[in-house]
A and B are shown apart, each in its own frame.
Chain A
Amino acid sequence: MKRFVLLLVLVSGAALAVDPTTMPTPELQQRYEALTHELRCMQCMNNSIADSPVGLAQDLRRDVKELLIAGRTDDEIRTYMVQRYGNVILFTPPLQGSSIWVWVLPLLAAVAGLLIGIRIVRRRARLVEQDESVVDGDDGAR
């Protein structure tokens, strides 16, 4: 029995260490876990509130739980958090306002890089065509 308990503690330790919350239904449990993983722990910038043991993360998880049980939608809960802490609390910045650049700039950079690459390759190809010595060499006209 003792060994079994020890095993249980060791196996479940990682999963239960931070957040032992259980929701009344599997559907709520799943939404709870998804939401707590996409909200930033404001005291420890690179953790979600699901992974953080600090007091504030605990309180924010409590709020998520209560709001879910009160029947709020995921978006309402995100809005609740953003109203208090700003967009920075979301790990995924919204596609609007100034944070739209976070999404648009990398795309622009990738397209620009592609265009520059194509231009360079084309120009080189033209140089090879114009270079008669290469053409002569290839023809083996000797």
Chain B
Amino acid sequence: MNRFIIPVLVFLALAAVLFVGVRHSPNKSTMVSALLGKPAPAFELPVLGDATRTLDSRQLAGKPWVMNVWGTWCVECRIEHDTLLAIARQNRVPLVGLNWKDDDEAAQQWLAQLGNPYGVVAADREGRTAIDFGVYGAPETFFIDADGLVQYRHVGAMTPEVWEREFLSRLPQAALP
């Protein structure tokens, strides 16, 4: 009997390691941002629909904001759009759109047709800001705190549950009604 104890223990340990590994494998929904706890990358990009304005990320500093990366070529973005509109109606935190490698006209048409949840949309036509944020697939949504640090990144369509659990919970209490 004794001689089986060690092999069984080794087997159980290996099974546990593999189980955890498989459950937490880097698939699209669980990949953690490399920027967590670090300053959000600075950017200055043209504002969608207004050729005379640019959005400088420094304008956003000082209070929490949320950045949603989207494109009209992105199917999941359409799926989350109603949730974003509902979030915008709550008006709890500025919602900035990062229009990733898109056609300006198509993007404006999309917002005109489906509604515009964003306070402002920056046009990242070359995808450089997206790379600075470590974006690998739209939609992605970032929470940046008052100190300008990235506190959370959600990959995939936004849902009311994720919004409540991961974004609203990170707002300072003073911002709550």
A residues bordering B, Cβ < 8 Å?
42-43, 45, 55-56, 59-60, 63, 82-86, 88
Contact = CB atoms under 8 A, between A and B. Distances in A.
Contacts of B134: 84-86
A43 B26 contact: no
Interface in B76-116: 101
Point out which of B126, B131, B136 has the most chain A C-beta atoms below 10 A from its C-beta.
Answer: B136
Mostly helix, strand, loop or mixed at chain B's interface? loop
A59 B127 contact: yes
Nearest to B32: A86
B87 to A, nearest CB: 26
Contact of A55 (B26, B31, B34, B127): B127
Contacts, number: 39
A42 B133 CA distance: 13
Contacts of B130: 59
Contact of A59 (B32, B131, B133): B131
Contacts of A42: 136-137
B126 A59 contact: yes
Contact of A63 (B26, B33, B34, B131): B131
B45 interface: no
Interface residues of B, number: 18
B31 A43 contact: no
Interface of B: 26, 31-35, 101, 126-128, 130-137
Contact of A85 (B126, B128, B136): B136
A42 B136 CA distance: 6
Contacts of B31: 86, 88
B133 A84 contact: yes
B26 A45 contact: yes
Nearest to A84: B134
A96 B87 CA distance: 41
Contacts of A82: 34
Contact of B132 (A45, A55, A84): A84
B7 to A, nearest CB: 10
B127 A56 contact: yes
Contact of A56 (B33, B34, B133, B136): B136
Nearest to A55: B101
Contacts of A84: 34-35, 131-134
A88 B33 CA distance: 11
Contacts of B133: 84
